[in-house]
Chain A
Amino acid sequence: MMNAMDTNPTHAMVRFGLGRRAAEPLPADPIAWLLGQLHTGDTPRIDPPPSTQAGLTALREDRVNKPQPGQSKARALFVAQAAAELEHALTTPAPFRERLVWFWTNHFTVSLRRGECTGVACAFIEEAIRPHVTGPFAEMVLAVMRHPAMLMYLDNARSVGPASIAGERRNLGLNENLARECMELHTVSPLAGYTQADVAALARILTGWSIEVQGEPKGFVFRPRTHEPGTKMLMGHRFPEGEEGGVAALRFLAAHPSANRFLATKLVRHFVADDPAAGDIRRIETVLRDTNGNLGAAAAALVRLESAWRPATKLRTPREYVVAAVRALDLPEGNRPNMMGVIGALGEPFMTAPAPNGWPDKATDWSAPEAVMRRIDWANGFAGRLGPRDPVEIADLALGPLLRPATLEAMRRAGSRRDAFTLMLASAEFQRR
């Protein structure tokens, strides 16, 4: 089967990577190139690296100082770090790995819609997601559920066991938000057939998983005083009192067969096709089951799916599109568009998804007429940065065999270089991946 696949290197860069960067060398063996990225760690990207400590310090200072709009330290941290994250996408030697980081960050959505997450949003990517994209899924779940960004975003930091010391004294109670989304969106999904009682049980299990913002060190803290006492029953399993009960419950959810099915579906949908084939889902699901949820193994299996080499089945989201465009032109530092602003204007503001289920992952979600028009308008403006370069040559590099004759013909007939480059950027094959 593998021999029958046309593993085109440009397609590999477009489908699994972030688009070819100008004349970046084409890998002789695309599959080996992709798999190789799963075995190399990330190089340092952001100096200083985003950290929970710095983010919560900024949050604390903002709370004390109540800054005027535009003066927030947390916001300033986010803006600088988010720009650096996007810049990294332009030059990373491991774009497939970066795409995995994007995928899992969206899977475990944390959004600036919840303002207090601002200062730690990029720390969340760097601490909870990035180190785990090729490791066991359970480790990522634990890192996410302990991360202050998630604990704030889905309110668990304030959830109090009704029968805990703090709960009895101050009449405080449960907040089920994180527990519900953890089951529905992050792990087992409704496929598992759990009940409201299970959600409440997980909420009790996770009481005490909180954050330290005022004191030192800042970050995750388990607070026994707010933790609901006693053992709890979750989906027919018994979990003990204490922090370790939460760890065990999360490991149980992460390893659940429904989680494997759910993650496999999302992975194939993201990397292969909006409507994944049942056989492809089964394949990834099997790998997850057989490797105890190893995400690197799942990523490698995706690359080996025959259907993954059928090009242009997916539509690039605004962030993927803008990054691919800037990579195609390979603009030097200092001469790049404000990508943060652009992807926001095109409908996908960085780390600001509307809801905990994250940005949608189907073409129909990104192809509303006005959304496509805005993309074209941006492309036309961006095409002005082409300068005296040959647009056909750039199209050839960026798209290779994916470039359609109709696009090439339209480009050759264009009245100016810039118009020709606009046509490339507006072509269906460049909008797809």
Chain B
Amino acid sequence: MIIGRRAALLGLSAVATMGGASLALAAAPGEKRFVVVIQRGAMDGMAVVVPHGDPGLTALRGATPEGLLDLGGFYGLHPALAGLHAMYRAHELLPVHAVAGPYRVRSHFEAQDFLESGADHRMTSGWLNRAVGTMGGNALAVGVSVPLLLRGSTQVGNWAPHGMAEPPPDLYAAIAAMNHTDPLIGPAIVAGLKERGFSNRALMGEPQETNRNAFPALAAAAGGMLRAPDGPRIAAMEIGGWDTHTAQASRLTGPLKQLDSGMVALKTALGDAWKQTIVLIMTEFGRTARLNGTGGTDHGTAGVAFVLGGAVKGGRVQADWPGLGPGKLFEDRDLAPTADLRSVAKGLLAGHLGLGAPALEQVFPGSTGTPPMRGLVG
């Protein structure tokens, strides 16, 4: 592995005192890049990495959807993720299934806080900020704000392009629905959405693919900055649209395509630096194993995280599959978690960025019982 200059001076995992706080200093990331993408709204892992090899799936979800992209027989990848599938074949994508944070809450807001805190309670700083604090180097929040994940005592950058804050179609539809009784604002929003190409059905709350490519553009810009010799080495991004309570089959396609195009754009923009890059895509929780009465899924527990990049030991699905049959579901409703998201993140911080045990304990306090997942990094 490449040892950053600062790490070489200080020694790996040396303990230094800065500002009264004891910090375990690991290697500065050097040429290694690490990107975290937060999927806000809770992606349904079972619809994206479909465990069609499990005989219990049909009873929960009906017939296996057409066009799945093969992930080694047992799992199939959603067809909207063609770019990710190409990475899978190049051993650059590692889906991690049946994974969840250490918390068991089903509120988006709370769970996102916990996910970003890296704990089963809300902290005032995020785990990625603390990771940067142990390493040094520059980190960048890509988007209009710094997510909790990157907030904390270590200063990070924040970059957003102009005019890319347009809400996702679902949010537009919710705004239209919420205001429909206002005699002035209601019709204005409906007319405004129509002028922007929304169909009537989309305004009724039915899913519509967005034709605007905010996330891919954001990802491309992030890649360009991460590639630069003096650019940031750590970045965080966010993508919404995952809260698929109704008509999930069509509603998921848009966000997935955005995500897929975004990751392809990131890889392209990184160029050679892709080889030294790992991306972690994570969401606050999975969704119910059964479809609900409106073709959607409600808030659940375990789901999927994606690890991708040139430095990933991919081309397989990482899972201790809990099964879907009788008695296998968590609380008889959700996919049961068999892996802790923190162990995935710790595995990447250790294997890719060289963080030692003391640093990992600072990044994820109280997680000594959750060791870093091995074999993620090539």
Indicate, yes or no, whether A interacts with B. Answer: yes
| A interface residues, Cβ below 8 angstroms from B | 315, 363-364, 367-373, 376-378, 380-382, 384-388, 390, 406-407, 410, 413-420, 422-423, 426-428, 431-432
B276 → A minimal CB distance (Å): 29
Identify which of A367, A368, A381, A428 contacts B165 (C-beta below 8 A). Answer: A381
Q: Report the Cα distance A372→B172, complex, angstroms.
A: 12
- Per-residue contact bits, chain B 243-261, to A (CB 8 Å; 1 contact, 0 not): 1010000000000000000
State whether the Cβ of B21 lies closer than 8 Å to any Cβ in chain A: no
Known: A376-B189, A415-B108, A428-B182. 17 other contacts (CB 8 A): A315-B185, A369-B191, A373-B196, A376-B167, A377-B167, A380-B165, A380-B166, A381-B160, A385-B145, A410-B175, A410-B178, A413-B174, A414-B171, A415-B240, A416-B112, A426-B178, A426-B179
Q: Report the Cα distance A367→B182, complex, angstroms.
A: 12
State whether the Cβ of B278 lies closer than 8 Å to any Cβ in chain A: no
State whether the Cβ of B40 lies closer than 8 Å to any Cβ in chain A: yes
Q: A372-B185, A372-B189 are in contact. Are A406 and B178 (CB under 8 A)?
A: yes
Question: Taking CB as reference atom, which chain A residue is nearest B144?
Answer: A384
Report B66-105 residues with CB < 8 Å from chain A CB: none
CB neighbours (8 Å) of A426 from chain B are 175, 178-179
Q: Which of B41, B144, B151, B242 has the most CB of A within 10 A?
A: B144
CB neighbours (8 Å) of A387 from chain B are 145-146, 148, 151
B199 → A minimal CB distance (Å): 16
B73 → A minimal CB distance (Å): 33
Identify which of B112, B165, B241 contacts A377 (C-beta below 8 A). Answer: B165
Identify which of A364, A384, A416, A419 contacts B143 (C-beta below 8 A). Answer: A384
Q: List 20 A-B contacts (CB under 8 A).
A: A315-B184, A372-B192, A373-B189, A376-B172, A377-B167, A381-B144, A381-B165, A387-B145, A387-B148, A410-B174, A410-B177, A414-B108, A415-B170, A415-B240, A417-B108, A417-B109, A418-B145, A419-B40, A427-B179, A432-B185
- Per-residue contact bits, chain B 129-160, to A (CB 8 Å; 1 contact, 0 not): 00000000000000111101001000000001
B205 → A minimal CB distance (Å): 11
CB neighbours (8 Å) of A378 from chain B are 165
Q: Report the Cα distance A407→B181, complex, angstroms.
A: 11
- Cross-chain contact B175 with A423 (CB below 8 angstroms): yes
Q: Report the Cα distance A372→B188, complex, angstroms.
A: 7
CB neighbours (8 Å) of A369 from chain B are 188-189, 191-192, 194-195
Q: Report the Cα distance A376→B144, complex, angstroms.
A: 15
Question: Taking CB as reference atom, which chain B residue is nearest A337?
Answer: B144
Question: Taking CB as reference atom, which chain B residue is nearest A373?
Answer: B192
CB neighbours (8 Å) of A422 from chain B are 167, 171, 175
Question: Taking CB as reference atom, which chain A residue is nearest B112?
Answer: A416
B161 → A minimal CB distance (Å): 11
CB neighbours (8 Å) of A432 from chain B are 185
Identify which of A382, A413, A428 contacts B179 (C-beta below 8 A). Answer: A428
Closest 5 CB pairs of A and B: A381-B165, A415-B41, A369-B192, A384-B145, A415-B243
CB neighbours (8 Å) of B178 from chain A are 406-407, 410, 423, 426-428
- Chain B: interface residue total (CB-CB under 8 A): 45
- Cross-chain contact B242 with A415 (CB below 8 angstroms): yes
Q: Report the Cα distance A132→B143, complex, angstroms.
A: 45
Q: Report the Cα distance A43→B251, complex, angstroms.
A: 54
Q: Report the Cα distance A148→B166, complex, angstroms.
A: 42
A318 → B minimal CB distance (Å): 14
- Cross-chain contact B148 with A415 (CB below 8 angstroms): no
- Per-residue contact bits, chain B 102-118, to A (CB 8 Å; 1 contact, 0 not): 00000011001100000
Q: Which of B151, B166, B179, B242 has the most CB of A within 10 A?
A: B179
Q: Report the Cα distance A414→B151, complex, angstroms.
A: 22
Q: Report the Cα distance A367→B112, complex, angstroms.
A: 35
Question: Taking CB as reference atom, which chain B residue is nearest A374?
Answer: B192
B328 → A minimal CB distance (Å): 27
- Cross-chain contact B185 with A415 (CB below 8 angstroms): no
State whether the Cβ of B323 lies closer than 8 Å to any Cβ in chain A: no
Q: Report the Cα distance A388→B126, complex, angstroms.
A: 11
A336 → B minimal CB distance (Å): 13
Identify which of A364, A373, A419, A431 contacts B171 (C-beta below 8 A). Answer: A419
- Cross-chain contact B188 with A388 (CB below 8 angstroms): no
B169 → A minimal CB distance (Å): 12
Question: Taking CB as reference atom, which chain A residue is nearest B170?
Answer: A415
Q: Report the Cα distance A385→B166, complex, angstroms.
A: 15
- Cross-chain contact B193 with A373 (CB below 8 angstroms): yes
A415 → B minimal CB distance (Å): 3
